[in-house]
């Protein structure tokens, strides 16, 4: 049965952008699918699997998926504006969400939908219960096997170093032709708390080891069944070699008081939303740094602003924000010890091309009536 892939995001200028195949179903390439195309043509079926990206942010996702599928003319690629999603979602079979919320009303209109998936791991915007009621599978792409978690870990280190070396002040010094200013600091000898020890947390710990830091980690369950995809039971024994001290949610405030830098790597859920609040920030050391490469909703905005104003928080580095796109006039950005990047932690050539392949393969698998692979189904 033919399927379609649907990418969701913010609305911009146009309603639909479309790339149509220029040849018949029998002319496409690819091992395992050319024979299927011949059978389709012989039987007189002209099913087209349409790939629909909603919104135009994170444009490399649709670009690389389009490139991966360019030799498969039974795949049609469209892009749609955010506000138009409810009007067209009934035409598609796979929905790949970016930051588009998929509530029960939208899902109810997805009468042909077979799979809702993320171009990455975050599924907080998807009503999984509603999807389950409508017999729609919901899935993420495991970050540990695509390079996404490694990319996010590198961004966390980038933000840490930027704060320690006072990036904004260095920019001013260059413009003012000053030399030898400002005086920064090093990661060497610091204590780093990783809040959430999933795929990103593990990759971050691996990379931090060479900087000579002490690593603390908080994880809800330190069991083999909660390991990131791609980490075997035998490898889990190496966790103790990666970290110096591990704890659960009950240790969160204790560990915060010991850390020079806190990095949030948690999945956003109803339980974790606003977890970095007034109480947590009050337990952090005066002058310590906070880095967030997970989801903006993990940080309670007013509390973060208050602790920046008081000087208790020594610096903030975020790749994700409370509202996106982030307001360039937001008061938080006025501080010289705040760095923000435009939600690009996972946006690297390696991770995006790997995830584009997973998405493309899911479309091909649906078209061929084969089981999905390369994804983690959560319902």
State mean pLDDT over 71-91. Answer: 84
Consecutive H or E run containing 362: helix 349-368
- pLDDT score, position 86: 87
Q: Tell me: pLDDT of 225 over 60.
A: no
Of 59-63, 175-179, 237-241, which gets the smallest average pLDDT?
Answer: 237-241
pLDDT digits (tens, 9 = 90+) for 248-307: 999 999 999 999 999 999 999 999 999 999 999 999 999 999 999 999 999 999 999 999
pLDDT digits (tens, 9 = 90+) for 308-351: 999 999 999 999 999 988 999 999 999 999 999 999 999 999 99
- pLDDT score, position 65: 92
pLDDT digits (tens, 9 = 90+) for 296-311: 999 999 999 999 999 9
Q: Tell me: pLDDT of 78 over 50.
A: yes
Q: Which residue has the higher pLDDT, 10 or 225?
A: 225
Dist CA 78 CA 224 (whole Å)? 41
- Closest of 245, 255, 295, 293 to residue 271, by C-alpha: 295
Q: Please provide the DSSP assignment of 69-97 as one string.
A: TTT-TTEEEEEE-GGGHHHHGGG-SEEEE
- pLDDT score, position 240: 64
- pLDDT score, position 16: 55
Q: Which residue has the higher pLDDT, 239 or 119?
A: 119
* Contact (CB, 8 A) for 216 and 240: no
* Contact (CB, 8 A) for 277 and 313: no
Dist CA 37 CA 76 (whole Å)? 15
State mean pLDDT over 32-61. Answer: 62
Instruction: Output the pTM of the full model.
Output: 0.81
């Amino acid at each position: 049965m033919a399927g379609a892939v649907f990418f969701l995001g913010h609305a911009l200028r146009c309603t639909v952008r479309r790339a149509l195949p220029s040849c018949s179903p029998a002319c496409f390439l690819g091992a395992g699918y050319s024979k299927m195309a011949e059978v389709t043509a012989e039987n007189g079926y002209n099913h087209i699997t349409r790939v629909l990206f909603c919104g135009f942010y994170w444009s490399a996702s649709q670009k690389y998926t389009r490139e991966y599928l360019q030799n498969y003319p039974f795949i049609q690629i469209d892009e749609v504006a955010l506000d138009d999603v409810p009007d067209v979602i009934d035409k598609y079979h796979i929905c790949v969400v970016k930051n588009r919320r998929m509530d029960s009303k939208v899902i109810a209109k997805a009468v042909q939908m077979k799979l809702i998936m993320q171009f990455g791991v975050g599924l907080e915007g998807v009503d999984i219960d509603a999807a389950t009621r409508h017999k729609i599978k919901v899935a993420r792409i495991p970050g540990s096997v695509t390079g996404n978690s490694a990319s996010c870990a590198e961004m966390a280190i980038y933000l840490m170093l930027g704060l320690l070396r006072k990036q904004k002040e260095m920019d001013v010094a260059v413009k003012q032709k000053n030399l030898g200013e400002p005086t920064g600091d090093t990661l060497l000898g610091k204590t780093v708390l990783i809040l959430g020890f999933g795929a990103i947390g593990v990759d971050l710990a691996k990379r931090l080891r060479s900087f000579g830091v002490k690593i603390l980690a908080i994880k809800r369950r330190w069991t083999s069944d909660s390991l990131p995809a791609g980490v075997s039971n035998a490898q889990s024994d190496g966790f103790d070699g990666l970290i110096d001290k591990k704890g659960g949610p009950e240790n969160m405030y204790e560990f915060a008081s010991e850390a020079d830098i806190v990095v949030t790597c948690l999945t956003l859920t109803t339980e974790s939303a606003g977890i970095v609040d007034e109480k947590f920030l009050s337990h952090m050391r005066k002058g310590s740094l906070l880095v967030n490469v997970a989801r903006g909703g993990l940080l309670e905005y007013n509390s973060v602003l208050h602790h920046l104003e008081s000087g208790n928080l020594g610096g903030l580095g975020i790749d994700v924000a409370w509202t996106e796109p982030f307001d360039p006039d937001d008061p938080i950005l006025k501080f010289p010890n705040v760095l923000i990047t435009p939600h690009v932690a996972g946006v690297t050539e390696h991770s995006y091309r790997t995830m584009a392949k997973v998405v493309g393969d899911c479309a091909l698998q649906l078209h061929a009536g084969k089981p999905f692979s390369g994804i983690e189904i959560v319902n």
